[in-house]
Amino acid sequence: MKAKLAVLFAGVGLMAAVPLFAHHSFSAEYDRDKHVSLTGTVTKVEWMNPHARFYVDVKDAKTGQITNWEFELGSPNGLMRNGWSRNSMKEGDVVSVEGSAAKDGSNLCNATTVKLADGRRLFAGSSSENPATQ
């Protein structure tokens, strides 16, 4: 019976560790040299670990076409240390975002700063940020 319990606990421990292996590094997904600066309307906010995310409808100035962008932030805990709260950004808010685009060309960005509708500029707690330059 003890051997079965030991195997069970070992299996549970391995399954719990799998999400840790799935976590990516910044350079695996984003290109620090592909700077993005976009303004649009927030459509969704996901305040969860390991990274908070939000989505913004951005209108192309030339074509008028609206594209939904996904922005990755730091962890909720890190965001709170940078002045964020769950209510800092809501659906319908107009925001300006700066960050690094995804390497694959998708509408995905690792945000570095977010300028809120009230003019506040919040740092995104991103792994791409370099505190020495801010």
- What is d(CA 30, CA 26) in angstroms, rounded to the nearest whole number? 6
Task: Assess whether the previous peptide bond of 131 is cis (omega < 30° from 0).
Answer: no
Question: What domains are defined for the chain?
Answer: 25-133 (2.40.50.140)
Q: Amino acid identity, residue 49?
A: N
Q: Which pLDDT belongs to residue 25?
A: 66
Residues in the chain: 134
Give pLDDT tens digits along the chain (134 positions).
Answer: 666 655 555 555 545 444 444 455 666 678 889 999 999 999 999 999 989 999 999 999 899 999 999 999 999 999 999 889 888 999 999 999 999 999 999 999 999 999 998 899 988 876 555 443 33
